[in-house]
Chain A
């Protein structure tokens, strides 16, 4: 990492040296800050950073994918190779026989219903925080922020007794309700930001046309805040799909209720050193999210930034 800093220094030095030389500058780049002169060393340093980053962040996933596709025994053969000599789906067969279809089904169920519930609960709340002036509004917003900052891991012990009292242990409904409680604060903050950017004049106009507040929300405000709802939905999909500790605690030991994270975790406990099978289980567990992500990665970026910078 310090490498790049060194390149930055080097870049400044070469910049002065190259000042006199004619530098190829494409018209597209002319006028962009810092593009008038071309410090080659800095470019190379940045390319090197890209290469190291892509290698570090992608290689593990590729390696696991490759390991999962090998025939029994080939993972530990010599010489070492990244691409398997022969493709075999036997590891996947093993994972699916262990109950992967059930886990996938449960994860999809919990994620779809959970995310829909989170949106349904947080949109009206965000509307209220954006459109009403009432006593205690700031305080309540502060509490919502506080809940967002505090990790559910911390309250897992009392949550267990709460769920037990409510008869929600070992139920998927209970898990969905729990996700609503845990994940709405973030969604409210993010959505409130979107509501705040919509001018109040739209509300007034709808009011004059005879809409009540619910009609105003449905027919007038929903369209401008739709991008925010998309960000909230996608972001919560990732959180819900990946969540482990709450699901592990609430769903207990009954395999028929397990979500993908629990299923995969238990599976690796059972098949200790079968690295091919563990690799296959990992790939199946991440694949749905990876597909969603590759299609919609712009929204993830928005969610990350906007969900964390409440001061804006």
Chain B
């Protein structure tokens, strides 16, 4: 009995030691993550690049390597350049509006908190509320807001000013403006919070020093606040650009890319090529174009961190 117990003990001890040795290696801790990333991120990314060199289609069984043909086709397709233009307008306006509105709101809330003004929390919660609404539903909310008869909420308000009714979703220009406004409704929260976070990290003593030197409010804003939040504003701009370039759900629900192709951004164009026209290869080529844009922006984002670390 006594020896049995000893053997059992020894086996348990050596199992424990193997277990312990295993846990002292990083790999077991990382295996689930590595598997998930390999299957659902890394492989698809490589596959997207590969597919863009083929004519893969959901309706044909054979796949042929076609080299750069998909890209040549894209580059010579006026529709692609139209999409690119729509995407660029959407992304650029979104970024300007998000960052500007976010900056103004962050400053207003920061000021309100320091001065003990009422309403800064309500403002913050209101802005964030818009951000948590699912993208598809944001599209529908704005669809309801922008009903094109005089009974639509916005058209009614405009009507009391003697304007409209405005064809918010059926006129190409207004449709694009509508998507940009709806996008700003959602995205401002992110810029606001990021820049607000940046404001909290500005050392108080810099303001004290500037006051001692006789700097007024505007001078303090220009010479203390702005240089201090410059890098966070830049990082925010890059991230917002990436989100804007990849926008899908909101536009999908609000206009579906229409009227015609007036609001068809790259993501929607890609989706349509791949899943409505079943041309996976062509869709993948558009995806690679988007991927390159994302990678360039990620590079800019990393560069911003290097710069801010040096400071």
Contact = CB atoms under 8 A, between A and B. Distances in A.
Do A and B share a complex? yes
Interface of A: 1, 4-5, 8-9, 11-12, 15-16, 26, 28-29, 32-35, 39, 42-43, 46-47, 49-51, 53-54, 56-61, 63-64, 67, 75-76, 78, 80, 120-122, 124-125, 127-128, 132, 134, 137, 140, 143-144, 146-147, 149-151, 153-162, 166, 177-178, 180-182, 184-185, 188, 212-214, 238, 241-242, 244-245, 249, 260-261, 264-265, 268, 275, 278-279, 281-282, 285-286, 289-290, 293-294, 297, 300-301, 304-305, 308-311
Contacts of A11: 217-218
Contacts of A155: 41, 44-45, 47-48, 287
Nearest to B217: A12
Given A39-B217, A184-B33, A149 B242 contact: yes
Contacts of A293: 128-129, 132
Given A57-B129, A265-B136, A157 B119 contact: no
Nearest to A267: B140
Contacts of B43: 158, 162
B275 interface: yes
B185 A157 contact: no
23 contacts: A1-B101, A9-B218, A26-B116, A33-B211, A46-B112, A49-B104, A57-B129, A63-B145, A78-B151, A122-B33, A132-B26, A147-B42, A150-B291, A161-B280, A166-B39, A185-B37, A212-B20, A242-B133, A244-B249, A268-B143, A278-B140, A311-B305, A311-B309
Interface in B115-137: 115-117, 119-120, 122-130, 132-137
Interface residues of B, number: 107
B305 A159 contact: no
A61 B142 CA distance: 9
Interface in B134-187: 134-137, 140-145, 147, 149, 151, 153, 156, 185
A8 B103 CA distance: 13
Interface stretch (B5-13, B79-87, B189-197): B189-197
Contacts of A309: 194, 197, 232, 235
Contacts of B20: 212-213
Given A50-B112, A128-B30, A241 B47 contact: no
Interface string B7-28: 0000000001001100110100
B253 to A, nearest CB: 6
Contacts of A166: 39
Nearest to B289: A154
Q: Is the interface of A mostly helix, strand, loop or mixed?
A: helix
B60 interface: no
Interface of B: 16, 19-20, 23-24, 26, 29-30, 32-33, 36-37, 39-45, 47-48, 51, 97, 100-101, 104-105, 107-108, 111-112, 114-117, 119-120, 122-130, 132-137, 140-145, 147, 149, 151, 153, 156, 185, 188-190, 193-194, 197, 204, 207-208, 211, 216-218, 221, 232, 235, 239, 242-243, 246, 248-249, 252-253, 267, 270-271, 274-275, 280, 283-284, 287, 290-291, 294-295, 297-298, 301, 305, 308-309
A134 B156 CA distance: 64
A155 B248 CA distance: 13
A159 B40 contact: yes
A46 B107 CA distance: 9
B211 to A, nearest CB: 7
A178 B3 CA distance: 52
Given A76-B151, A244-B135, A265 B44 contact: no
A43 B33 contact: no
Given A33-B208, A212-B19, A153 B248 contact: yes
A245 B193 contact: no
